[in-house]
Amino acid sequence: MNPISVGLLGLGTVGTGVVKIIENHQDKLMHQVGCPVKIKKILVQDPAKARTLDIDKTMLTTNPDDIILDPEIDVVIEVMGGIDDTKGILIEAMKGKKHVVTANKDLMALHGSELLTVAYENQCDLFYEASVAGGIPILRSLVDGLSSDRIIKMMGIVNGTTNYILTKMSKEGRAYEDVLKDAQDLGFAEADPTSDVEGLDAARKMAILATLGFSMKVDLDDVKVSGISAVTDDDLRYGKQLGYTMKLIGFAHREGEKVEVSVAPTLLSDSHPLASVQNEYNAVYVYGEAVGETMFYGPGAGSLPTATAVVSDLVGVIKNLRLGVNGRSAVTPQYPKQLKDDCEKFSKYFLRLHVQDEVGVFAEITSIFASFGVSFEKILQLPVKKNETAEIVLVTHRASVTSYKQILTELENLKAVKKIKSSYRVEGNSL
């Protein structure tokens, strides 16, 4: 049986893992697909760079044409990152009838629909399991395992960097900047951590998840995003006092034909399964009409976990090759995009205020909430040592985004309110 030849774009952390798995798991791959799998060419920036792998230098190239124009290469694996140039290379590869496996969440979130269309037109497979949650097979589970169900809600921790930071802040009482530096030193966070800590990385993954889970084309611009850089030790401490744990949560919810998708720091009840997911681990909670609640948990990044997802996609491509069904697995979105208005989005909220420490102030605040039909689930009132100020911490019952925004505006205009210190979404019921 002729071997399947692979062209690899990129030999960084994940690319190195892909080479290791393909080399070390040949017996497993042979058993799965019935033929040898070999990497023929690898695109790199610097062939002379010292590497942890013992690679035949003749396999390395700096020219993508050596891969996409090689008639012997059947599958292109892309793990080099980038958007515009990478998109062009993958389109040319698929036009040359090469199947593509990618771990590029940025590319798939921004141009996934176009790339899948090119794949379909050229009867090529385009698989991208590793683009979301590393080694957790969440996309395959949505497309295959839960394909007969109607997904109602997905919520999850899909960024390991922010989960590591929030875990250390919560467990060790350390400041955000201090833990961020730790995460950078350990390689969990980039030198410029903006994409992670401001929620953009998670938003890209949620756009991909929502598109597949709801069979509706959800774009990155449709995801409402806020990050963790403003989260303080006080927020975590008060949350803990009330029975909550802070996580950066990606949230996607469908009601009827309308959806909402967001990424935001969220206070989860300590009893919620996602509250116990710590450090750099990821987890995604999926609610289906038929199956009920399921949770997918595991390492969200790293060389070998992500490479495992990449090579699993490669196995899927080769099985399709053997069956002659490549290019038939892509399913276009079934439903037109319909996004909820703010008046159709509901949540509980955590709100922390600094107010004048005077009689009647709390009654004024209560009356504002009452005028919008919003009541309180929990209340903490504490003195602040300076400036005759009191701190009030509230957890509301469910309120619409529209009502809550109006409440915040009225509170800002209330003379007795010195400052709105923080506000977060709340999920689950605390003890």
Burial class (CB in 10 A: 0-12, 13-18, 19+), 382: exposed
CA distances from 2 to 33, 34, 197 (A): 12, 10, 47
Q: Are 285 and 274 in contact (CB under 8 A)?
A: yes
**C-alpha torsion sign, points 104, 106, 275, 177:** positive
Compute the CA torsion angle 94, 82, 196, 180 (nearest 10 deg): 140
Strand 389-396 with 60-61, pairing: unpaired
Q: Are 162 and 263 in contact (CB under 8 A)?
A: no
How far apart, in whole angstroms, are the C-alpha atoms of residue 323 and residue 84? 33
The three-point CA angle 97-101-102 to 5° equals: 125
Has 205 been annotated as catalytic?
Answer: yes
* Residue 17: how many other CB atoms lie within 10 Å: 21
Q: Are 329 and 320 in contact (CB under 8 A)?
A: yes
Task: Give Cβ neighbours of residue 121 (< 8 Å, ≥ 6 apart).
Answer: none
How far apart, in whole angstroms, are the C-alpha atoms of residue 123 and residue 143? 18
The residues with which 246 forms a beta bridge, in sequence order, are 267
Burial class (CB in 10 A: 0-12, 13-18, 19+), 96: middle
Mapped onto helix, strand or coil, the DSSP state of residue 388 is coil
Task: Give Cβ neighbours of residue 166 (< 8 Å, ≥ 6 apart).
Answer: 228, 231, 236, 246, 247, 248, 265
Identified catalytic residue from 105, 153, 168, 205: 205
Calculate the CA 385 to chain-centre distance. 41
* Residue 271: how many other CB atoms lie within 10 Å: 13
Task: Give Cβ neighbours of residue 395 (< 8 Å, ≥ 6 apart).
Answer: 242, 348, 349, 350, 351, 376, 377, 378, 379, 426, 430
| Positions marked catalytic | 205
